[in-house]
A and B are shown apart, each in its own frame.
Chain A
Amino acid sequence: MQESLITDENVELLLADLLEVYGYDFTDYSRASLKRRINRLYSLDKFPSFAEFRYHLRSDATYLKRFVEQITVNVTEMFRDPGFYKALREEVLPNLGTYPFIRIWLAGCSTGEEAYSMAILLQEANLFHKSLLYATDINPSVLEKAGKGIFPLSQMKQYSENYILSGGKKDFSSYYSANYDLAKFDEVLKTKMIFSTHNLVSDHSFNEFQLILCRNVLIYFDKDLQAKVFKLFDESLDNLGFLALGSKETLQFSPIASKFKKSGSEKIWRKIS
């Protein structure tokens, strides 16, 4: 292993270019992860020099798409952290059930595994018919995948275990049909999903929600950007709405902390004022 070929200074140049040429603002992202992923892309695409890499990114808008897709993290799972989904089932959904209409925002939904997990929970709680899931991400290409609802069959054993641990009582395979090495999820689940690009850095609130899920997205943002996004979530939540974060993320030290109360032992907060 050698030192990163793309240095800290190079990274700053690229981020400034992205903002100047394309209006994509990554300057408030945590650097270590970005630097690693930019270096990874630089090696993958076999650029002979940083200058060529930079020129290519600045001048080729189609390469921008690949760049953004590759420097952001799109790893996700169905029913990841089963205890969290159990808490959604037992503590959050009964509350949402009292609303005539339920709007849920999955911010940073990536390839959609969480959206399908959420749809299954809503179905099993008999709330699906009056719910709408807004699944957003900065990357158009992951949203395309999410819209298909097709995931590798090899993952289903793990997902099925997660599902059962989350309190699922059905046969998990009843939610998809297997075709060669792919699992295609029930089309019905998609009927209440709306996929759209949304950039948490620059885009505004677009609705009022009873539940916002944003898990393992904020870990890539610096403190200032985290604070800004928390404010956006606060503005987008109904009174008494819920905010759910990743297992290592917290609202605790944020500017909106005093308006929220932690609900149970999972990373779920309820807006109280």
Chain B
Amino acid sequence: MAQDILNKKATEVLIIGGSAGSLEVILHALPLLSNPLKIAIIIVLHRKSSSESILTELLCIKTSIPVKEADEKEFIKSGTIYLAPADYHLLIEKDRTFSLDYSEKINFSRPCIDLTFQTAAEVYRESLAALLLSGANADGVEGLELIQLTGGLTAVQNPEDAKISYMPQHALDKLKPDLILNKDEVADFINRLH
């Protein structure tokens, strides 16, 4: 696997985007992550708006790394895993804080992965990494293209390994990511980001 790129790049933030079938990948990787985490992780998942805090609790159980829902105006710190709150778009400000936005759904989704990818790409540029997982929606693909354009690191789950191949396959149709990962390789990938 072309993981040499991980040694060359300095990453501050990793954004993981996913839809149907992505939660199991995250739950699988979380217990294998080294604590302390050298970067910040932001997870943007499509989910039902009613599923509130249960998801945060579910992720907390799987790791000793601090996991929390992103608060508006909160400063993004390394060593923390942030989760996009249900039913809001999660945006990244130039001063590296979170903003929430309750505007129209995009790609039938709120939070919209493209939007977090896009605003983060314009702030973090080369020091951003993104991983797009399983899903039945094309959300995230355009944002991933922008991250590649602005010099960030791009990774996509192997569609053959994904529960729902549509989202990662769509990404591969549109761009050549730096890495294509199986579920079992996700934790190692994250641990090597620095």
Contact = CB atoms under 8 A, between A and B. Distances in A.
Contacts of A219: 72, 88, 99-102
B88 A248 contact: yes
B100 A1 contact: no
Contacts, number: 62
B11 interface: no
A190 interface: no
Nearest to B110: A75
B9 to A, nearest CB: 20
A32 B85 contact: no
B149 A2 contact: yes
Given A32-B99, A33-B99, 6 more contacts: A1-B146, A32-B92, A33-B101, A219-B101, A223-B73, A249-B72
B91 A36 contact: yes
Interface string A65-102: 00000000101000000000000000000000000000
Interface in A28-52: 30-33, 36-37
Q: Which of B85, B92, B101, B143 has the most CB of A within 10 A?
A: B101
Interface size class of B (residues with CB under 8 A): 20 to 34
Contacts of A222: 73
The 8 lowest CB-CB distance pairs between A and B, nearest first, are: A1-B142, A32-B91, A1-B146, A73-B103, A33-B101, A219-B100, A216-B102, A30-B99
Contacts of B93: 30-32
Interface stretch (B38-46, B54-62, B111-119, B127-135): B111-119
Contacts of A36: 91, 101, 115, 118-119
Interface residues of A, number: 21
B100 A248 contact: yes
A248 B85 contact: yes
Contacts of B146: 1-3
A1 B118 contact: yes
Q: Which of B88, B99, B145 has the most CB of A within 10 A?
A: B99
A8 B93 CA distance: 11
A216 B102 CA distance: 7
B34 interface: no
Q: Is the interface of B mostly helix, strand, loop or mixed?
A: mixed
Contacts of A216: 102
Nearest to A1: B142
A220 interface: yes
Contact of A248 (B72, B91, B118, B121): B72
B126 interface: no
B120 to A, nearest CB: 10
16 contacts: A1-B118, A1-B145, A2-B146, A3-B146, A3-B149, A30-B91, A30-B99, A33-B91, A33-B101, A37-B103, A75-B103, A219-B101, A248-B72, A248-B85, A248-B100, A249-B72
Contacts of A126: none
A123 interface: no
B92 A33 contact: no
Nearest to B145: A1
Interface in B71-103: 71-73, 85, 88, 91-94, 99-103
Contacts of B149: 2-3
B168 to A, nearest CB: 17
Interface string A16-38: 00000000000000111100110
A3 B104 CA distance: 21
B150 interface: yes
Contacts of B115: 36
